[in-house]
């Protein structure tokens, strides 16, 4: 495993679930640049996770790669515990792990439904539950949940995904109330973003999608990460319980 040795110095740890690629990887880079020791979590893609750790370390940051299926509480707990041990604590949790399918109601199986809720919603609960005792020991703590545009608009090809991401917003508000004042809890709701998850959609329907976005383009992962990293910072201490859309104007409340 890359980054096996203990790490000292700098800010405490930041857990970023599902961070071997896409938005999660961009968040890991941003938090490392802010001085946090970062846990780069992956479920199956070890090579890109290790490559990201090497990149962060080459830039002077601290990180390690950790395999864990965070839809399982014991694995999520182990992920948090190792981060705290390596970096002397945990101050930030970014619940980014996600699972998406293009399926209609008739096509969604009971197993699909269970998996979507497990990865998109339960994993955030499990990781947060494991992390809160560590967050409470810090002068301040931050939890950022990555929801989705679909939580706002619904979906005609992924009801299970939209439902789970909507539940994540309810979890965000509830935990913001419960964990105040020392720990803030917020969500970001990205629109179309250039990631592996959206590659198929953008390849098939990219022109039509961009035509619907006032900004005229899809987001880059680093743009979403910039908002997440700000919400994870000390400067964002007066923002809690919010869900912030970052979608190029395609959805305005």
Q: Per-residue confidence at 188, pLDDT binned at 50, 70, 90?
A: very high
Residue 206 has pLDDT above 90, yes or no: no
Residue range(s) defining the domain that contains residue 211: 11-245
Residues 6+ apart with CB under 8 A from 246: 188, 189, 190, 191, 219, 223, 224, 227
Whether residue 199 is predicted with pLDDT greater than 80 in this model: the reply is no
Cα-to-chain-centroid distance, residue 51: 19
pLDDT at 4 over 70: no
Read off the pLDDT band of 137 (50, 70, 90).
very high
pLDDT number for residue 46: 95
How much helix, strand and coil, in percent to the nearest 5, is found in the chain? 45, 20, 35
| Mean pLDDT (whole number) for 202-228 | 88
* Secondary structure E strands in the chain: 11-16, 36-42, 62-67, 90-95, 141-146, 183-190, 243-246
Q: Tell me: the pLDDT tens digits for 61-94? A: 999 999 999 999 999 999 999 999 999 999 999 9
Q: Residue 154 above 90 pLDDT? A: yes
Answer yes or no: 161 catalytic.
Answer: yes
Higher pLDDT, 147 or 196: 147
209 within domain boundaries = yes
Looking at residue 111, which CATH number applies to its domain? 3.40.50.720
Residue 108 forms part of a structural domain: yes
Give 66's contacts (C-beta < 8 A, 6+ positions apart): 1, 39, 40, 41, 42, 79, 82, 83
Q: Is 205 part of any domain?
A: yes
Mean pLDDT of 181-192: 96
Q: Is residue 34 part of a domain?
A: yes
Q: Structurally, how many domains does the chain consist of?
A: 1
Per annotation, catalytic residue among 42, 161, 192, 251: 161
Is residue 232 domain-resident? yes
**2 in any annotated domain:** no
Quick one: which of 146, 117, 122 has its CA closest to 245?
A: 146
CA distance 197 to 50: 20
pLDDT band at 7 (very low <50, low <70, confident <90, very high): very low
**DSSP alpha helix (H) spans, 88-214:** 110-117, 123-135, 150-153, 159-179, 199-212
Look at residue 251 and tell me if it is in a domain: no
């Amino acid at each position: 495993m890359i980054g096996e040795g203990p790490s000292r110095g700098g800010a405490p740890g930041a857990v970023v679930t599902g961070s071997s690629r896409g938005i999660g990887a961009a968040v890991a880079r941003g938090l490392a640049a802010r001085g946090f020791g970062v846990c780069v979590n992956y479920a199956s893609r070890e090579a890109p996770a290790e490559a990201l750790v090497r990149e962060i370390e080459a830039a002077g940051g601290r990180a390690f790669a950790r395999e864990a299926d965070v839809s399982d509480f014991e694995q999520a707990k182990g992920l948090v515990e190792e981060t705290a041990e390596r970096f002397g604590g945990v101050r930030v949790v970014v619940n980014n792990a996600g699972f998406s399918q293009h399926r209609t109601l008739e096509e969604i199986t009971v197993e699909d439904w269970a998996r979507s809720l497990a990865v998109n919603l339960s994993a955030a609960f499990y990781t947060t539950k494991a992390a809160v005792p560590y967050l409470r020991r810090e002068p301040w703590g931050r939890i950022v949940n990555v929801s989705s545009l679909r939580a706002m608009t619904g979906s005609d090809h992924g009801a299970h995904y939209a439902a789970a991401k909507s539940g994540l917003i309810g979890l965000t508000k509830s935990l913001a109330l419960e964990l105040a004042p020392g720990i803030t809890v917020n969500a970001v709701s990205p629109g179309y973003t250039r990631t592996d998850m959206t590659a198929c959609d953008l390849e098939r329907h990219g022109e039509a999608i961009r035509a619907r976005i006032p900004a005229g383009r899809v987001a880059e992962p680093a743009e979403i990460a910039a908002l997440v990293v700000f919400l994870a910072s000390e400067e964002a201490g007066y923002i809690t319980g919010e869900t912030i859309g970052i979608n190029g104007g395609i959805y305005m409340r």
